[in-house]
Each structure stands twice: as C-alpha cells, then as structure tokens.
C-alpha cells in the first residue's frame, strides 16, 4: 500500500502577526513555525494505517521554503518513511489551485492508494487543497474525517455534521481523506524515531518542475479588522447591576 | 584483691577451639550471604563511587560513628543513636577482651584489663549495655504499641529486636551469675552495677548451681551471637554493613545533578530505565541499604497529599524486582502515577540516613517513558512540550513577546541591555519563562531590574533570543528537548560575551549553574538572593527598613538543592521584616507542587499540594507569604485562592518586598 500525507508548515497562532509591506500576507520575521494542526491528525492517521497494513509505504510532502524541512523531519520522526519538499520560496503567494496542482502533478504517476490531508490550514484556511487534489487525480475525497477505518481496499470515514449528527461514508481506494479535530491524538515522537528520521530520505523538487498552472485567485489585501464595539464591565451592588442590565437591554436590544 | 576478672572463668580456655571454629563458620555464612547479593548489584550499570576516598570516609565517620544523619530526627533517631553508641562500646569491650585473652595474654603474658582501667572498662560497659537495652525497649514500644502511621513492620523487626535484647539480657545474666559466685560482697561489684542487679537472683544458690547456670548461659549467649552474625545478610540487619557502605558510596554532588545522556550514541538501543539492568549498580545497592525508617515518606509532599508515591516503597520495589525478578518491567511494577507524582523536591534524599538517591531513579524511569514511549502525565504536558519545541517556552507564548515586560522599565529610563543585539552589561539576567510571560511574575523581573539599577549594576537580557532553560522538561524525562533548548541558550550566552549570570528563578539558576556545565557553559551563575545579599553587604545596595510581618517559604531548588537558606533571611531582615517561620522550613520545607516539571501538569490525584502549603503559611498568622521563585509564586497565587485564604494571606516575592524598600 502506497500512502501520501500532505502537510503545511504554518506560524504558531499565538505569534504576533504583522502585515507585510506587500499588504497581501504577513511578515515572516519573529514567527515560530509548526505543523498545521489538522495535518498532524493526517500524519497520525497515516502512520496508524501504515502499522496496520503490512508492507505499506508512507511519503510525506510539503510545499515551501527550506524551513518546511523542520515540519517534514517531525513527520518522519512520527513514522513517515520519506519526505518530499516541493521547494518554493513563494509558496504563500500561490493560491489553492496551484498548490493542489503541484501536489497532483507529483502524485499522478505514483499510484497512491490513500492520500491524507488536513481539513484546512490554520493560516490561510481556504480548505480547498485536499478536495482539489482529489478532483485533479480523479479520486473520491472524504472530507472532515473524525473517525477512520480501512479494510479490503475501502475506507470508511465518519464526519461530524452540524447539530451533532455524524455521517458515515465509504469509498474504494484510491481515495483522499481530509482530517478534522477529534480524529486522533498525534503521537509524541520517541528519541529512537527522531534519530532514525535523520537518516531517512528527504527529496527536494523545485516546485517549478511540477507546477505549470497560473493562479486563479488574487489576494487583494490583508489587514486586521477594525475594532468595533467592545465588552462593557459593570460594577457595583447587585440591585444597581440589575437596573443597569435592564437599561442596556432596553436601549440596545429588542428582547424586553 | 586484684581489680580484674578472670576471662573464660568457669567455661575454661578449652572452649577456645570450638568457639573459634563456630565463629569462623558464622562469619563464613555472613560472607557467603553477602557475596550472593553482589551478583544482583552487578546487574546495574557501572558508576564510579570510590573516588575522593578521604571525603567518603569522613562521611562514614560523621554519619555512622557519630550518627549525624540518624540523630537529625528526634525520638526514634535519638534512640537509634544511643543504642548504636552503646552497641559500639560493647563491641569495643568485647574486642579488648579478645585482644587480652586470646592474643596478648597467651603470647606475652600481658594483661591490661586490670586496676583502674578495669574499673572504668567495667562500669562503661555496664552502662552501655543498660542504655542499649532501654533504647531497644523504647524502640519496641514505639513500633509495637505506639505504632507510627505507615511504618512498615515485618518479621525481621521482631527478630532483630528480640535477638539484640536476648543478647544483651543473657550478657547481663551471665555477668550476674559470674558475679554471684566471684564478686558479691566485694567493692569491685559496685563497678558493675547492672551486673550486680542481675546477680541477685543467683545469690542464694550453691556455687555448683551458679557455675552450671553460668555455663549454660555462656553457650546460649554465644549461640545467639552466632545467630546474629548469620542473620545479617538475610534480614534487615544487613543495614549494619550496607548502610555504612552506602554512605561511603554516596553522591558527592553537585547536589541533585542528573547524569547527562549521550543522545547521539548510535549504539544505545534504549534510553532511561525500564529494567533493573538499565539502572546503575548503586541504585540496586540503595535498595539494600534502606532501613525502612520512612523518614522520606513522612516528608514526601506527594505522599502527604494522598498521591501514590512513597519514596521508600519505590526504593523497596526496585530492590524486590532486582532480587526476585530482574527481567521484570520496573515501570509496570512501580506504575506511572507513582513516577509522575514526584516534584523532585529532594525532601526524601535530604533526610535519608542511608544516603539513598531517590530522585535520579524516578527521572531515569521518566526518561524511559518519554524518550522510548512518547508518554507524558497528561495531554496538557504533551502540549507544553510541543509549545516549547515551537515557541521556546511551555506556555505557548510568542517568542517575539518574551521581553515585552522590559519595555515599561525602558520607558521609565531604566537601561536594560539587549545582549543578543550586541549591547553589553555586567551581568546577564536570565529571566526564565514565568517571569517573562506571566503577568504576576513579571513583577519579579521588574523588581530585580530596579534593585540592580539602584545598586548601580548594569543588567542585560537575551530578550526574544532567550529560551526556556529546559528544567521542567528535563525533570519530566524529556532529556532530548532539554538538551535542544540548553544548546540554543548556551550559544546565545556565549555569543553575548557576558561574564556572569544571575537568575531570580531557582529552577533556571540550578539548571544553568549545574546542568549546563555538562553541555559547555562554564560561567559563574548566581541566584538573585545571594547576588543581592552581597550587594547589600558591600553597601552597594541600600534598603530602607519598613516593618512587614511575613513568613518565608524555602523553595526546594534554592534550599535543599542549593543550601541557600541564609541569604533570603538576611535580605528580609535588612528590609525590616519580622519573620514567622513555618514549622516546615529550611531543610524541612514542603514543596509548592511545581517542581519536577509538575508546573506543566494538572494535579489530578489527592489533595492540592499548593493549598496544603498555603494553609501551613496561614497557620503562622503572618499576612504575607514571601517566596523566592516564580514557580512558587504561581502555585501560591492559586493555592491561597483555592484554600479560601485570600482574605488573610498574600503571596509576595522577596524581590518585590525589597524593591519597595530601595533606599
């Protein structure tokens, strides 16, 4: 069985973001980088599947500049067999269609039985890449998985719907699964696996070798939203507070 | 009348041959029994513990022959000490008898147990025997009638007490029988007052009866002594030999310094300890030297807040596995809840009369859990580890904001050099994560800067280039992450060209001063307390006295780990504080719960340790709880609220108290 897991390196969301001079993305200085949270669920699921199915081979792929190798190393330490870095200094300028095209071009001849991706990225959050890759490869996409099972060339995925419902869907391989929070708890790499990861293959392919598509979307601007209406903290005696709350509710809402 | 007694009276010199044959046999059993244990010690890894012999031997003299460690605990410790001194005097007495009767007299006709020396010898031994008996009876009453809570009593204890009492009593009866026949009514008898007492029952008997009773008692007493020797290797009596040996083999420091793992070792198949053979030989020997006195358990903050960890039980479980089933998985036997409960506060090691090293064993097993299994005490800890990898701090805060606290001071015109940006200063203040990011603890950092500024010391920081020192990760077993963080810090520190480091966090201080040495940092590192105490002494720092009623909590990593008890108290005194000491202070201080990386973990089992400590502080009646540690501060902020004490108790850092009193 041939498995591919696609991951993205994103800034830690606690970082102090500054809009870059271009006005279309954030500055990269002073950021701490990590694996996109949903992609960690994807890696974990892929590694679990690899240990279940004998003879499975697991490739992890990431598009971006040299720093993404850190993310790839962690994926290798978690149990992936080889890493592929589609080297791209300007990955953040590519739209989802281009990213998906590059991945699809890489995956086309490789006959992956299963492709795992995160549901979306924490930084851009378009949620398109996984679905587009599946479409470009002509395989089914099972999105936002919170449970996963594989047996006899078919995958069963449970998806969380609004209102607490869960849907179970099934598809034959090859297929693509995008992973949602709750699917699993990503493992903490053990030291022997970290050491082994250092000796695993790390392939570098210039993204231009694979990507021939033009962007279909253009980012016009990136900015913090304007501050509107803030919280109001009331203090004083309970009786006073009740009067104040009633006053505010009457003034600003229609509930009374 | 000659002032002496006839040795081998009644039994005659003819007993010498059977006596020595039997003694040789008993010693053979003793040696055989101990040698058998040697094979088990050898299961452990090699470790040098025979260097610096003079220092090791003087420790044995102090802690065994003067009973220094034993006597630290009043009551049972005093009784053991007095019994020991009595027992040693009796042993010396017996040796003198042997030297005269079996060596000097037969070979040279030389006798020294005569005259005034004999009188002295006689009365000293009588009193020594009496003291030994009284202490044994006292210890028996304690163990079997008073029954201290959780004191592990097994058959061995009855055997030891019974055997020793029987030896002492038969000794006195023997003396009594001899005196009834030879000394009663003479002045000499007054020099054996206890013997004289024991002679009374035999006084009315015929000499023949006295002689036959004496002869029977002699052999019985002798048999008991042989039994005593034979029992040493097979009962808890083995502590007689192994505890002194363990004092000799003790860790000579630096206090609490852990072994640094070679993580690049290509041949290492496993890291940390999951089996006996992963431990050092000394770890197995420790278990054999344990006297089950439960002093460690009595002081363990985890045990005292209903957690499953007892340092004593843990040591004994290692011993049981080593001797009965050395292939067994230690971690499964001990259980992970026990291992994760430790705060590495060192209360157990500090008090152990046998110099057993509890904490490093726990860390070795944690290392195995983390490095080999990727296991932590909870998901919150895994998250903190990942945060530290990504952000360089376990709180998950943006590294770029690490030095934001300094901006306010800089705005006030106080200069804080950015050493990572090429500026220079006399000292590097290693801030640590909690004082950098935690709002409450930032006040500690600001206070330290103000104090240095008032004393005219220029201070620099590494700013956003500073990383967590790695202490909580290391104590939780994550040696890999610790070494990664340490390497990055060391690189920054060395590049800054700074010559001295000061930290106001005992955890950073301990790590930088002891642990970083193995990774190449060799600069002097001080804690803010001792640094400021020196500035105060030299007159560079001036403080105004303003009265404050307070109690002081000795942080584990300042006190027990670094012996810094006086500096904070000197500073408090200079600040005009009136100190209400808690019952558990200094060496006996009770951990706040944050040590051993527990600051990153939820406390899910038992009573909250920080609340227990807050209650102890409140009992002093002092309205202020002063500590010298950002971890303690965080714990007390929570603990005081949790224990509903916020009306009566407020936590302050010593540096905050001082900063309010800059003269």
Interface confidence, given as ipTM, is 0.89
CATH number for the domain harbouring residue A42: 3.40.50.620
The whole-angstrom separation of Cα B397 and Cα B420 is 19
Does any CB of chain A come closer than 8 Å to the CB of residue B495?
no
Q: How confident is the model over B452-477, as pLDDT tens digits?
A: 999 999 999 999 999 999 999 999 99
pLDDT value at residue B590: 98
Q: Tokens for A1?
A: 């069985």
Q: Do B398 and A16 touch (CB under 8 A)?
A: yes
pLDDT band at B403 (very low <50, low <70, confident <90, very high): very high
Nearest chain A residue to B480 by CA: give it: A191
Question: Which stretches within B455-605 are classed as H helix?
Answer: 471-475, 479-496, 506-510, 528-537, 566-574
Contact map slice: B 301-360 vs A, CB within 8 A: none
Q: Are B518 and B447 in contact (CB under 8 A)?
A: no
CA-based nearest distance B372→chain A, Å: 5
What does the pLDDT read at residue B2? 78
Preferred mutation among A12, A16, A191, A192 to probe B, highest tally of B CBs within 10 A: A191
Residue B625 sits at φ, ψ, to 5 deg, of -105, 110
Spell out the residues 6+ positions from residue B400 whose beta carbon is closer than 8 angstroms to its own: A15, A16, A30, A31, B464
A162 domain-assigned: yes
User: At residue B1, does pLDDT exceed 70?
Assistant: no
Please count the other Cβ atoms lying within 10 Å of the Cβ belonging to residue A21.
8
Report the residue from B271, B392, B398 with minimal CB separation from A191: B271
Inform me whether the C-beta atom of residue A220 falls under 8 Å from chain B C-beta atoms.
Answer: no
For B185-198, what is the mean pLDDT?
A: 94
For the cut 90, the answer to whether the pLDDT of residue B413 exceeds it is yes
- What are the tens digits of pLDDT across the range B86-139? 999 999 999 999 999 999 999 999 999 999 999 999 999 999 999 999 999 999
Q: What percent of chain B has pLDDT over 70?
A: 100
What is the pairing mode between strands B548-552 and B577-579?
parallel
Q: Give CA separation, B274 vs B40, B193, B265, B324, B367, in Å.
A: 16, 58, 18, 16, 9
The residue among A93, A43, A108 whose CA lies nearest residue A72 is: A43
pLDDT reported for residue B541:
96
Spatial CB neighbours of A57, under 8 Å, sequence gap ≥ 6:
A1, A2, A3, A50, A81
Percent of chain A with pLDDT over 70: 100
Which has more confidence, B533 or B4? B533
Residue spans of beta strands (DSSP E) within B11-103 = none
Asked if residue A133 lies in contact with residue A23, where contact means CB atoms within 8 angstroms, the answer is no
Give the minimum alpha-carbon distance from A240 to chain B in angstroms, rounded to a whole number: 25
Q: How confident is the model at residue A16 (pLDDT cuts 50, 70, 90)?
A: confident
A199 touches chain B (CB under 8 A): no
Quick check: B373 and A190 CB within 8 A? yes
Q: Is residue B644 less than 8 Å (CB to CB) from chain A?
A: no
In total, how many domains does chain A have? Answer: 1
Scanning every residue of chain A, which has its alpha carbon at the shortest distance from the alpha carbon of B269?
A192
Looking at residue B611, what is its pLDDT? 98
Q: Which domain holds residue A123?
A: 2-209
Distance CA(B256)–CA(B34), nearest Å, equals: 30
Interface touch B379/A34, C-beta < 8 Å = no
CA distance B417 to chain A (A): 19
Q: Tokens in use for B345?
A: 């506060």
Mean pLDDT of B507-531: 97
| Radius of gyration, CA atoms only, chain A | 22
In a domain, A75, yes or no: yes
For residue B482, give how far its alpha carbon lies from the nearest alpha carbon of chain A (Å).
13
B397 Cβ partners below 8 Å, 6+ apart?
Answer: A14, B391, B437
Strands A154-160 and A166-172 come out as antiparallel
Supply the pLDDT for residue B69. 96
Domain assignment of residue A104, yes or no:
yes
Q: Report d(CA B134, CA B130) in Å as an integer.
A: 6
The three-class DSSP label of residue B66 is coil
Band (pLDDT 50/70/90 cuts) for residue B291 is very high
CA distance A186 to chain B (A): 10
% pLDDT > 90, chain B: 96
Domains and CATH numbers, chain B: 13-244 (1.20.950.20), 276-373 (1.10.1060.10), 392-535 (3.40.50.1860), 541-659 (3.40.50)
pLDDT for residue B111: 93
Work out the burial of residue B3: count CB atoms within 10 Å of its CB; fewer than 13 is exposed, 13-18 middle, 19 or more buried.
middle
Chosen from A14, A37, A75, A194 to mutate, greatest number of chain B CBs within 10 A? A14
pLDDT in tens, B603-642: 999 999 999 999 999 999 999 999 999 999 999 999 999 9
Give domain status of residue A147, yes or no.
yes
Q: Outline where B392-470 has alpha helix (H).
A: 404-411, 433-437, 439-454
Instruction: Specify the pTM.
Output: 0.94
- Is position A256 within any domain? no
Q: For chain B, first and last CA: distance in Å?
A: 81
Mean of all residue pLDDT scores within chain A: 94
In-domain check, residue A70? yes
Q: For the residues A106-129, what does the mean pLDDT come to?
A: 96
Partners of B396 on chain A (C-beta within 8 Å) are 12, 14
A32 closest CB neighbour out of B374, B379, B390: B390
Q: Do residue A33 and residue B390 have CB atoms under 8 angstroms apart?
A: yes
Question: Does a structural domain hold residue A235?
Answer: no
Domain assignment of residue A215, yes or no: no
Q: Which residues of B touch A15 (CB under 8 A)?
A: 398, 400
- List, as one string, the DSSP characters of A63-125: EESTTHHHHHHHHHHHT-SEEEEEE-TTGGGS-HHHHHHHHHHHHGGG--SEEEEESS-SSS-
pLDDT for B604 equals 96
Which whole number is the average pLDDT over B371-376?
97
């Amino acid at each position: 069985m041939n498995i591919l897991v696609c991951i993205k390196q994103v800034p830690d969301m606690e970082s102090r973001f500054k809009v870059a001079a271009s006005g279309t993305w954030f500055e990269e200085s002073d950021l701490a980088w990590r694996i996109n949270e949903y992609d960690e669920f994807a890696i974990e699921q892929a590694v679990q599947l690899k240990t279940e199915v004998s003879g499975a081979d697991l490739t992890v792929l990431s598009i971006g500049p040299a720093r993404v190798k850190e993310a790839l190393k962690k994926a290798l330490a978690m149990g992936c067999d080889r890493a592929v870095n589609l080297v791209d200094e300007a990955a953040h300028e590519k739209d989802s269609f281009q990213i998906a095209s590059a991945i699809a071009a890489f995956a086309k001849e490789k006959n992956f039985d299963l492709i795992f991706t995160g549901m979306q990225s924490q930084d851009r959050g378009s949620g398109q890449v996984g679905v587009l890759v599946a479409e470009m490869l002509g395989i089914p996409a099972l999105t936002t998985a919170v449970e996963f099972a594989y047996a006899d060339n078919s995958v069963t995925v449970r998806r969380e719907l609004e209102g607490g419902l869960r849907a179970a869907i099934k598809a034959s391989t090859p297929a693509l699964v995008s992973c949602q929070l709750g699917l699993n708890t990503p493992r903490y790499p053990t030291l022997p696996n970290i050491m082994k990861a250092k000796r695993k293959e790390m392939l570098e392919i210039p993204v231009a070798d694979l990507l021939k598509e033009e962007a279909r979307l253009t980012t016009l601007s990136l900015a913090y939203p304007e501050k509107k209406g803030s919280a109001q903290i009331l203090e004083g005696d309970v009786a006073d507070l009740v009067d104040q709350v009633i006053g505010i509710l009457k003034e600003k809402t229609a509930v009374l | 009348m000659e002032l002496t007694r006839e040795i081998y009276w009644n039994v005659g010199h003819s007993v010498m041959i059977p006596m020595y044959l039997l003694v040789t046999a008993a010693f053979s059993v003793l040696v055989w029994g101990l040698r058998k244990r040697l094979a088990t010690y050898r299961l452990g890894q090699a470790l040098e513990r025979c260097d610096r012999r003079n220092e090791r031997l003087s420790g044995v003299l102090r802690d065994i022959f003067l009973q220094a460690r034993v006597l630290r605990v009043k009551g049972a410790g005093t009784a053991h000490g007095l019994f020991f001194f009595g027992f040693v005097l009796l042993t010396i007495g017996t040796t003198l008898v042997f030297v005269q009767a079996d060596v000097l007299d037969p070979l040279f006709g030389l006798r020294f147990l005569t005259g005034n020396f004999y009188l002295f010898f006689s009365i000293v031994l009588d009193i020594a025997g009496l003291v030994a008996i009284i202490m044994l009876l006292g210890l028996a009453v304690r163990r079997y009638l008073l029954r201290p809570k959780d004191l592990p009593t097994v058959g061995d204890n009855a055997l030891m007490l019974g055997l020793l009492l029987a030896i002492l009593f038969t000794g006195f009866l023997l003396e009594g029988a001899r005196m009834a026949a030879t000394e009663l009514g003479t002045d000499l008898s007054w020099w054996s007052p206890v013997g004289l007492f024991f002679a009374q029952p035999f006084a009315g008997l015929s000499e023949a009866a006295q002689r036959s009773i004496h002869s029977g008692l002699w052999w019985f007493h002798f048999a008991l002594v042989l039994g005593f020797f034979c029992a040493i290797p097979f009962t808890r009596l083995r502590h007689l030999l192994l505890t002194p040996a363990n004092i000799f083999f003790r860790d000579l420091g630096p206090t609490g310094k852990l072994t640094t793992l070679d993580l690049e070792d290509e041949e290492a198949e496993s890291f940390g300890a999951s089996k006996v053979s992963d431990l050092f030989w000394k770890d197995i020997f420790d278990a054999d030297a344990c006297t089950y006195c439960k002093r460690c358990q009595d002081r363990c903050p985890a045990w005292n807040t209903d957690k499953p960890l007892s340092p004593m039980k843990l040591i004994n479980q290692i011993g049981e596995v080593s001797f009965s089933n050395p292939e067994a998985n230690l971690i499964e036997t001990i259980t992970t809840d026990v291992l994760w409960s430790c705060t590495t506060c060192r209360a157990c090691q500090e008090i152990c009369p046998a110099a057993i090293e509890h904490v490093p064993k726990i860390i070795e097993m944690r290392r195995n859990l983390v490095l080999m299994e990727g296991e932590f005490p909870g998901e919150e800890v895994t998250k903190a580890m990942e945060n530290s990898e990504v952000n360089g701090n376990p709180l998950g805060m943006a590294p770029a904001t690490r030095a934001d606290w300094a901006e306010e001071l800089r705005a006030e015109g106080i200069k804080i050099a950015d050493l990572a940006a090429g500026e220079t200063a006399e000292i590097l203040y290693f801030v640590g994560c909690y004082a950098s990011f935690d709002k409450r603890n930032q006040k500690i950092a600001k206070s330290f800067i103000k104090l240095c500024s008032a004393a005219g010391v220029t201070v620099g920081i590494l700013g956003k280039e500073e990383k967590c020192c790695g202490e909580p990760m290391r104590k939780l077993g994550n040696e890999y992450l610790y070494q990664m963080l340490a390497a990055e810090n060391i690189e920054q520190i060395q590049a800054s060209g700074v010559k001295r480091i000061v930290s106001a966090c005992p955890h950073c201080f301990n790590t930088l001063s002891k642990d970083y040495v193995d990774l190449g940092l060799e600069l002097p590192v001080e804690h803010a307390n001792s640094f400021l105490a020196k500035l105060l002494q030299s007159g560079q720092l001036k403080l105004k006295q303003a009265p404050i009623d307070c109690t002081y909590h000795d942080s584990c990593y300042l006190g027990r780990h670094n012996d810094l008890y006086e500096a904070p108290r000197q500073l408090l005194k200079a600040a005009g504080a009136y100190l209400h000491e808690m019952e558990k202070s200094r060496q006996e201080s009770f951990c706040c719960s944050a040590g051993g990386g527990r600051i990153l973990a939820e406390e899910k089992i038992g009573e909250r340790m920080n609340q227990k400590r807050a209650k102890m502080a409140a009992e002093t009646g002092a309205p202020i709880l002063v500590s010298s540690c950002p971890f303690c501060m965080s714990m007390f902020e929570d603990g005081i609220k949790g224990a509903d004490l916020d009306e009566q108790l407020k936590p302050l850092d010593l540096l905050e108290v001082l900063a309010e009193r800059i003269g």
